[in-house]
Amino acid sequence: MAVPYPDLTGALVAGGRARRMGGQVKGLLRVDGEPLAARSLRLFARLFAEALVVANEPAAYARLGVPVVADLLPDKGAPGGIHAALAAAATPWVFTAACDMPFLSASGVALLAAKRAGATAVVPRWGGQLEPLHALWSRQCLPAFERALAEGAPSLQELAALVGARIVEESEWRLIDPDGRAFENVNTPEDAARLGLVGR
Protein backbone atom coordinates (compact mmCIF):
# COMPACT_ATOMS: atom_id res chain seq x y z
CA MET A 1 0.00 0.00 0.00
CA ALA A 2 1.35 3.42 -0.95
CA VAL A 3 1.98 5.83 1.90
CA PRO A 4 1.77 9.62 1.75
CA TYR A 5 5.40 10.17 2.79
CA PRO A 6 7.62 7.45 1.32
CA ASP A 7 10.76 9.51 1.98
CA LEU A 8 10.10 9.64 5.74
CA THR A 9 10.84 7.29 8.63
CA GLY A 10 8.81 7.64 11.81
CA ALA A 11 11.02 7.36 14.89
CA LEU A 12 9.70 6.98 18.42
CA VAL A 13 12.28 8.25 20.90
CA ALA A 14 11.94 6.20 24.07
CA GLY A 15 15.22 6.75 25.85
CA GLY A 16 14.43 8.46 29.15
CA ARG A 17 14.58 6.70 32.51
CA ALA A 18 11.18 8.09 33.59
CA ARG A 19 12.24 8.71 37.18
CA ARG A 20 9.22 10.90 37.88
CA MET A 21 7.00 8.05 36.68
CA GLY A 22 8.60 5.60 39.08
CA GLY A 23 10.61 4.05 36.25
CA GLN A 24 7.51 2.94 34.31
CA VAL A 25 8.06 2.36 30.60
CA LYS A 26 6.13 5.38 29.37
CA GLY A 27 5.62 4.08 25.86
CA LEU A 28 3.69 1.13 27.29
CA LEU A 29 1.19 3.26 29.19
CA ARG A 30 -2.23 2.59 27.70
CA VAL A 31 -4.81 4.85 26.17
CA ASP A 32 -8.13 3.26 25.18
CA GLY A 33 -6.56 -0.11 26.00
CA GLU A 34 -3.65 0.29 23.57
CA PRO A 35 0.00 1.01 24.47
CA LEU A 36 1.06 4.53 23.49
CA ALA A 37 3.94 3.21 21.41
CA ALA A 38 1.68 0.83 19.46
CA ARG A 39 -0.80 3.65 18.83
CA SER A 40 1.97 5.90 17.45
CA LEU A 41 3.44 3.13 15.32
CA ARG A 42 0.01 2.41 13.85
CA LEU A 43 -0.12 6.04 12.70
CA PHE A 44 3.43 5.77 11.34
CA ALA A 45 2.49 2.69 9.31
CA ARG A 46 -0.25 4.70 7.59
CA LEU A 47 2.03 7.64 6.81
CA PHE A 48 5.65 6.59 6.40
CA ALA A 49 7.80 4.13 4.50
CA GLU A 50 9.49 2.88 7.65
CA ALA A 51 9.31 3.13 11.43
CA LEU A 52 11.67 2.44 14.30
CA VAL A 53 12.02 2.90 18.04
CA VAL A 54 15.07 4.36 19.75
CA ALA A 55 15.40 2.71 23.15
CA ASN A 56 18.35 1.69 25.28
CA GLU A 57 16.30 -1.09 26.88
CA PRO A 58 14.97 -2.76 23.73
CA ALA A 59 13.15 -5.66 25.41
CA ALA A 60 10.24 -3.41 26.37
CA TYR A 61 9.57 -2.56 22.72
CA ALA A 62 10.65 -5.80 21.03
CA ARG A 63 7.08 -7.02 20.40
CA LEU A 64 5.98 -3.99 18.41
CA GLY A 65 7.18 -5.30 15.05
CA VAL A 66 9.64 -2.54 14.14
CA PRO A 67 13.41 -2.24 14.54
CA VAL A 68 14.58 -1.04 17.96
CA VAL A 69 17.92 0.79 17.94
CA ALA A 70 20.03 2.03 20.82
CA ASP A 71 21.83 5.34 21.17
CA LEU A 72 25.16 5.32 19.34
CA LEU A 73 26.48 8.03 21.65
CA PRO A 74 25.45 7.08 25.20
CA ASP A 75 24.30 9.50 27.88
CA LYS A 76 23.38 12.29 25.47
CA GLY A 77 19.66 12.29 26.31
CA ALA A 78 17.09 13.17 23.66
CA PRO A 79 19.71 14.65 21.28
CA GLY A 80 21.41 11.25 21.31
CA GLY A 81 18.08 9.61 20.55
CA ILE A 82 17.46 11.77 17.49
CA HIS A 83 21.06 11.19 16.39
CA ALA A 84 20.48 7.43 16.60
CA ALA A 85 17.26 7.73 14.59
CA LEU A 86 18.97 9.75 11.86
CA ALA A 87 21.85 7.27 11.70
CA ALA A 88 19.51 4.27 11.47
CA ALA A 89 17.02 5.67 8.95
CA ALA A 90 17.22 4.64 5.30
CA THR A 91 15.05 7.57 4.18
CA PRO A 92 16.23 11.16 3.72
CA TRP A 93 13.84 12.50 6.38
CA VAL A 94 12.84 11.38 9.88
CA PHE A 95 9.80 12.38 11.90
CA THR A 96 10.75 12.16 15.57
CA ALA A 97 8.22 11.90 18.36
CA ALA A 98 8.55 11.17 22.04
CA CYS A 99 7.14 7.77 23.00
CA ASP A 100 4.83 9.36 25.58
CA MET A 101 2.88 11.67 23.24
CA PRO A 102 -0.69 10.29 23.05
CA PHE A 103 -2.11 12.67 20.47
CA LEU A 104 0.11 12.56 17.40
CA SER A 105 -1.90 13.22 14.26
CA ALA A 106 -1.69 12.95 10.51
CA SER A 107 -2.61 16.62 10.18
CA GLY A 108 0.35 17.65 12.34
CA VAL A 109 2.73 15.58 10.25
CA ALA A 110 1.21 17.03 7.07
CA LEU A 111 1.82 20.60 8.21
CA LEU A 112 5.47 19.88 8.99
CA ALA A 113 5.99 17.92 5.78
CA ALA A 114 4.59 20.79 3.70
CA LYS A 115 7.39 23.03 5.01
CA ARG A 116 10.31 20.81 4.02
CA ALA A 117 11.34 22.30 0.69
CA GLY A 118 14.78 23.83 1.08
CA ALA A 119 14.92 23.08 4.83
CA THR A 120 17.22 20.84 6.86
CA ALA A 121 14.70 20.45 9.70
CA VAL A 122 11.17 21.64 10.52
CA VAL A 123 10.36 22.26 14.18
CA PRO A 124 7.15 23.69 15.69
CA ARG A 125 7.13 26.27 18.45
CA TRP A 126 4.43 26.15 21.14
CA GLY A 127 4.13 28.29 24.25
CA GLY A 128 7.36 30.04 23.34
CA GLN A 129 9.31 26.73 23.29
CA LEU A 130 10.52 24.66 20.39
CA GLU A 131 9.11 21.12 20.18
CA PRO A 132 12.04 19.17 18.71
CA LEU A 133 10.57 15.84 19.81
CA HIS A 134 7.66 16.45 17.45
CA ALA A 135 9.61 17.53 14.41
CA LEU A 136 11.10 16.63 11.05
CA TRP A 137 14.86 16.24 10.71
CA SER A 138 16.71 15.52 7.48
CA ARG A 139 19.67 13.17 7.45
CA GLN A 140 21.68 16.21 6.31
CA CYS A 141 21.67 17.12 10.02
CA LEU A 142 23.65 14.02 10.97
CA PRO A 143 27.20 15.44 10.62
CA ALA A 144 26.29 18.54 12.66
CA PHE A 145 24.70 16.38 15.36
CA GLU A 146 27.77 14.14 15.49
CA ARG A 147 30.19 17.05 15.83
CA ALA A 148 28.15 18.86 18.45
CA LEU A 149 27.50 15.72 20.52
CA ALA A 150 31.17 14.72 20.37
CA GLU A 151 32.14 18.12 21.71
CA GLY A 152 29.60 18.45 24.51
CA ALA A 153 25.99 18.16 25.56
CA PRO A 154 23.95 20.51 23.37
CA SER A 155 20.21 20.81 23.89
CA LEU A 156 17.82 20.00 21.08
CA GLN A 157 16.99 23.70 20.90
CA GLU A 158 20.68 24.45 20.33
CA LEU A 159 20.89 21.74 17.69
CA ALA A 160 17.82 23.12 15.92
CA ALA A 161 19.53 26.51 15.75
CA LEU A 162 22.79 24.92 14.62
CA VAL A 163 21.19 23.23 11.61
CA GLY A 164 19.04 26.27 10.78
CA ALA A 165 15.73 24.54 11.38
CA ARG A 166 12.64 26.10 9.82
CA ILE A 167 10.22 27.06 12.59
CA VAL A 168 6.45 26.56 12.38
CA GLU A 169 5.03 29.25 14.64
CA GLU A 170 2.24 28.67 17.13
CA SER A 171 -0.22 30.85 15.21
CA GLU A 172 0.01 28.52 12.22
CA TRP A 173 -0.04 25.36 14.31
CA ARG A 174 -3.24 26.49 16.03
CA LEU A 175 -5.05 26.32 12.69
CA ILE A 176 -4.86 22.51 12.84
CA ASP A 177 -4.45 21.91 16.60
CA PRO A 178 -5.89 24.84 18.58
CA ASP A 179 -4.94 23.47 22.01
CA GLY A 180 -1.54 22.02 21.17
CA ARG A 181 -2.71 18.51 21.97
CA ALA A 182 0.01 17.02 19.79
CA PHE A 183 2.66 18.24 22.22
CA GLU A 184 1.11 16.75 25.36
CA ASN A 185 3.38 14.23 27.03
CA VAL A 186 3.67 12.28 30.25
CA ASN A 187 6.26 13.17 32.87
CA THR A 188 4.42 12.42 36.12
CA PRO A 189 1.60 10.19 37.38
CA GLU A 190 -0.53 13.35 37.48
CA ASP A 191 0.08 13.86 33.75
CA ALA A 192 -0.94 10.27 33.08
CA ALA A 193 -4.17 10.71 35.05
CA ARG A 194 -4.98 14.02 33.35
CA LEU A 195 -4.51 12.49 29.91
CA GLY A 196 -6.50 9.36 30.72
CA LEU A 197 -3.57 6.94 30.57
CA VAL A 198 -3.24 3.79 32.62
CA GLY A 199 -0.35 1.46 33.38
CA ARG A 200 0.08 -2.00 31.98
Q: What pLDDT shows up at residue 24? A: 65
Contact between 55 and 63 under an 8 Å Cβ cutoff? The reply is no
Q: Does residue 111 sit within a domain?
A: yes
CATH number at residue 61: 3.90.550.10
Q: Does residue 77 sit within a domain?
A: yes
- Phi-psi region at 27: left, alpha or beta (left = phi > 0; alpha = psi -120 to 50): alpha
Q: What pLDDT shows up at residue 27? A: 75
Q: Does residue 88 sit within a domain?
A: yes
Q: Does residue 200 sit within a domain?
A: no
Domain that includes residue 84, residue range: 5-194
Contact between 81 and 155 under an 8 Å Cβ cutoff? The reply is no
In whole angstroms, give the CA distance from residue 127 to residue 13.
Answer: 22
Q: What pLDDT shows up at residue 118? A: 97
Q: What pLDDT shows up at residue 57? A: 83
163-172 as b/e: b if 16+ CB within 10 A: bebbbbebee
Give the distance from CA 81 to its chain's centroid: 9
Question: The whole model's pTM is what?
Answer: 0.91
Contact between 49 and 39 under an 8 Å Cβ cutoff? The reply is no
- Number of domains within the chain: 1
Q: Does residue 199 sit within a domain?
A: no
Mean pLDDT by 10 residues, the chain (200 residues): 94 70 67 87 97 91 94 94 98 96 96 98 98 98 97 96 98 98 82 60
3-state DSSP of 21-85: HCCCCHHHCEECCEEHHHHHHHHHHHHEEEEEEECCCHHHHHHHCCCEECCCCCCCHHHHHHHHH
Q: What pLDDT shows up at residue 192? A: 62
